[in-house]
Amino acid sequence: MKRGCISVFTNGTDISLKNRSMLVEKLSNKGYEVRNDYSPADTELIICIGGDGALLRTVHSCNFPDCPIIGINTGHLGFFQEISPESLDDFISDYEQGEYSIQKLSTVKATVTTDNGRCESHLGLNEILIKGRHSYSIHLDISIGETPIERFSGDGLLVATPAGSTAYNYSLGGSIVDPRLKLLQVTPIAPMNTTAYRSFTSSILLPAELSLGVTPEHSDDVIYIVNDGIETEYSGVKKIGVTISDTHVRLMRFKNYDFWNKVKTKFL
Ligand code: NAP
């Protein structure tokens, strides 16, 4: 029987490529067409073999696809990754019987406008990082909604989604957030607190309807926007707006999935 198309991506390591070969053979035997690219028109499922970093790269290379994504963990941590290489047969059987749920993850969007009319948006599944060049500090006027809040000085600001709260955000002392909550977490990176500069030293949480406004104090400063590790350099930045985006990532989860059990096994 001819089935739908399944796209399989890997992080290119030997173990991931070995698992890809085994998986492709099993899926082909079941009648699926397996591809190494993604088409919004006919891909019904994306499989990513690797770690969390590989899943992030797959999401970006497929331009935040609408179809479900499942991760097979051959990486280190595996927060996004759902199944182990030993469970390929169980995964295919559960998939065919519809024994799964979809975890809809929210994403964060930064829109950058510059003096010369450049206006670009960047999406992050984990986070948007706003930082200066090399080890220079940056000075930013921060507003929440319409309210000016602070003049931030430090290494940068990280705006994390709940799904990204266990990544860079956690290393910076931010809180772990259950992905069922719809919020953004703004975590300062090495904020200065002197008589000259005053910044929040802890993370702040924003509800979905509020956006963060960021204006560099010196418009000729070089600013980097880093979405899930992808850097874009700007100068002459007039304004950066950061909001929860309408775009979602749909991760496939099976019956034993529990976010807090994952947190326990990965961190404690
Ligand atoms: P990388 O620097 O090669 O690896 C970053 C590490 O973060 C990997 O161990 C990765 O897990 C893990 N990770 C990614 N997303 C995660 C999540 N949602 N929850 C828990 N851990 C997660 O970079 P990369 O592989 O290209 O990934 C980009 C991400 O790295 C960024 O989005 C940022 O969050 C993170 N990062 C973290 C730090 C830090 O903690 N100091 C610094 C820079 C960037 P795997 O091993 O399973 O791939």
Give me the domains of the chain, ranges plus CATH numbers: 5-99 (3.40.50.10330), 107-246 (2.60.200.30)
pLDDT (tens digit per residue) in 211-239: 999 999 998 899 999 999 999 999 999 99
For residues 80-105, give the mean pLDDT: 97
Catalytic residue among 37, 52, 90, 246: 52
For residues 5-16, give the mean pLDDT: 97
**Residue 18 and residue 48 in contact, taking contact as beta carbons nearer than 8 Å:** no
Q: Whose CA is nearest to atom 46 of ligand 1?
A: 76
Q: Please choose from 52, 130, 189, 259 the residue to mutate so as to test ligand 1's pocket, defined by most ligand atoms within 8 A of CB.
A: 52
Residue 1 pLDDT: 55
In the chain, what is the straight-line distance between the N-terminal and C-terminal CA atoms, in Å?
46
- Known binding residues are 52-53, 57, 126-127, 155, 163, 166-171, 190
Residue 259: is its pLDDT beyond 90? yes
Residue 77 pLDDT: 75
Residue 248 pLDDT: 98
User: Residues 80, 83, 88, 92: is their CA dihedral positive or negative?
Assistant: negative
Annotated catalytic residue 246: no
Looking at every residue in the chain, the average pLDDT score rounds to 96
- pTM here is 0.97
Q: Whose CA is nearest to atom 42 of ligand 1?
A: 168
Give the residues surrounding ligand 1 with Cβ less than 6 Å away. Answer: 51-53, 56, 75-79, 126-127, 163-164, 166-168, 171, 228-229
Torsion of CA 253, 37, 19, 266, to 10 degrees: -40
Phi–psi pair at 128, nearest 5 degrees: -115, 125
Q: Is 266 helix (H, G, I), strand (E, B) or coil?
A: helix
Residue 2: is its pLDDT beyond 80? no
Distance of CA 242 to the CA centre of its chain: 14
Residues 6+ apart with CB under 8 A from 21: none
Pairing type for strands 138-144 and 212-216 reads antiparallel
pLDDT (tens digit per residue) in 36-82: 999 999 999 999 999 999 999 999 999 999 999 999 999 877 899 99
pLDDT (tens digit per residue) in 243-257: 999 999 999 999 999
Q: How many angstroms is it from 230 CA to the middle of ligand 1?
A: 12
